Amino acid sequence: MLAAANFSFVLNDGAIYGYFSTVGLQALDLYDGDAAPPPILDGAPHRASGRILHELLERYFSGAAVSFCEIPVDLESGTPFQQSVWRAIIEIPYGNWTTYGALARRIGKPRAARAVGMALGANPVSIVAPCHRVLAANGGLGGFSAGLHWKKRLLELEKIPFLE
- The catalytic site residues sit at 131
Angle between helices 113-121 and 80-90 (to 10 degrees): 80
Compute the chain's Rg from CA coordinates. 15
Main-chain dihedrals φ then ψ at residue 7, nearest 5 degrees: -145, 135
